[in-house]
Amino acid sequence: MMKLSLMKNIVLNTVNRDWDCSLAEILLEDWAHDAEWVKFWRASANFVCFFKFGGRDFVIRFNHENEKNLSELNGEIELLNFLASKKVNVNVPVLSKNGRYIEEKETPYGKFYSVVFNRISGDLVDFDNIDPEGFYSWGKGLGRLHKTFKELPGNRLSRKSQEELFEILIEDFPPKDDVERRMAERTGNWLASLSKNGDNYGMIHYDFELDNLLWNEEGVHVIDFDDAVYSWYVADIAYALRDLFDEGLKVNLDDERFKMFMRGYRDESEIPDDSIRQLSFFYKWHNFISYKRVERAIDLEVADENPDWLNDLIRKLRTEFMDKYYDVFKTELDKS
């Protein structure tokens, strides 16, 4: 998630009551577009707007240079083009007028990096409505993706590893008390005990949940690779199934839905059994990383001058996320 101060600045100053976004219009000068229809959609890890050109729908994704690294964006583009070359259904970016996939532009609000995609049509499957065959297909899709990741050329793409992400967050936002310190130490010791090899470690999507899968007549399209990192493949399985296992708080490897997911996965790609047995530990690691990411994002306090939606978001992040997971960490440590 981006810093809330950035979100506030851009939404309040560039998005009007009709959801027109003047900043997106500035950034779209580098792509052909219909100027009269550029609509704001969301702000989370990125700003996202919809626009039209020639009767077709497109998406522009952009963010401030303090939030996104140009080198890593290039790594994402390389990854998407590689997957497309392997016939994986992904959304490859659209070249700008300048023949580039990524444009950087100075604006009155700072320097921004922008990428444009076709807007893919398709259906989202709700977790509560997915049947056993759906779990099988979901797992098969992730297994196929990992199988393809294993074919990446030997030269490493410019993407962080999950370990590097963890270390950066701990360095930038050191533990504030004994609970956080012990969680960080325990996580570091656990990571040091893990082995790495071509069967269990490589590129992962890092957010293979159902809301990043679009189903249409061409099959399943995978979107949102902007969080892709190097990590253990089982981490992708864990993070995909957060709804099934209540964010890792109720992991049950005997759940029939999980077994169907893994059957589909293993029909495409192998994964060691000892990796699967580590599933609950990967949830704990992910939850601690997410906790620190949210701590970074909350750089504003509830205030009268804030719009209601922003104050509500600050409260929600503090109570429903930060406080919740701090209590989970404390309970976990108290058991040991």
Q: What is the arithmetic mean of pLDDT over 206-219?
A: 87
Q: What is the pLDDT of residues 37-55, one digit of tens each?
A: 899 999 999 999 999 998 8
Split into its structural domains, the chain has a count of: 2
Is position 309 within any domain?
A: no
Q: Check pLDDT > 90 for residue 204.
A: yes
Q: Check pLDDT > 90 for residue 109.
A: yes
Q: What tokens does 87 get?
A: 């016939």
| Predicted local confidence at residue 247, as pLDDT | 85
| Predicted local confidence at residue 44, as pLDDT | 93
Contacts of 333 (CB under 8 A, 6+ apart): 179, 182, 183, 186
Q: What is the pLDDT of residues 96-106, one digit of tens each?
A: 999 999 999 99
Task: Tokens 């000068």: give the residue.
Answer: 29
Buried-exposed string 190-223: b where 16+ CB fall within 10 A, e elsewhere = eeeebeeeeebbbbbbbbbebebbbeeeeebbbb
DSSP 8-class letter at 212: G
**Which range marks the domain in which residue 67 is found?**
4-118
Give percent above pLDDT 90 in the chain. Answer: 83
Of 59-73, 120-134, 297-311, which gets the smallest average pLDDT? 120-134
Q: What is the arithmetic mean of pLDDT over 150-170?
A: 88
Buried-exposed string 299-329: b where 16+ CB fall within 10 A, e elsewhere = ebeeeeebeeebbebbeebbeebbeebbebb
165 and 80 both lie in a single domain:
no
Q: What is the arithmetic mean of pLDDT over 290-301?
A: 96
Helix 279-297 × helix 162-172 angle, to 10°: 40
**What's the CA gap between 299 and 278, in Å, rounded?**
34
The DSSP code sequence of 29-90 is GGS---TT-EEEEEESSSEEEEEEETTEEEEEEEEETTT--HHHHHHHHHHHHHHHHTT--B
| Predicted local confidence at residue 308, as pLDDT | 96
Domain boundary among 118, 153, 181: 118
271 and 176 both lie in a single domain:
yes
| Predicted local confidence at residue 181, as pLDDT | 96
102 and 136 both lie in a single domain:
no
Average per-residue pLDDT for the chain:
93
> Taken in order 162, 163, 164, 169, is the CA torsion positive or negative?
positive
| Predicted local confidence at residue 158, as pLDDT | 84
133 and 278 both lie in a single domain:
yes
Q: What is the CATH number of the domain that holds 42?
A: 3.30.200.20
Residue 165 · residue 293 · CB < 8 Å:
no
Q: Check pLDDT > 80 for residue 164.
A: yes
The alpha carbon of 5 is separated from its chain's Cα centroid by a whole number of angstroms, namely 20
93 and 193 both lie in a single domain:
no
| Predicted local confidence at residue 215, as pLDDT | 84
Q: What is the arithmetic mean of pLDDT over 119-125?
A: 84
Q: Check pLDDT > 70 for residue 323.
A: yes
148 and 42 both lie in a single domain:
no
Is the entire prediction scored with pTM above 0.85? yes
Q: Check pLDDT > 90 for residue 122.
A: no
| Confidence bin at 155 (pLDDT 50/70/90) | low
| Predicted local confidence at residue 12, as pLDDT | 96
Sheet with 110-118: strands ordered across = 38-43, 47-53, 56-64, 110-118, 103-107
Q: What is the arithmetic mean of pLDDT over 173-201?
A: 93
Is position 153 within any domain?
A: yes
Stated as kind and residue range, the H or E segment containing 201 is strand 201-204
Q: What is the CATH number of the domain that holds 150?
A: 3.90.1200.10
Is position 306 within any domain?
A: no
165 and 294 both lie in a single domain:
yes
Q: Check pLDDT > 80 for residue 193.
A: yes
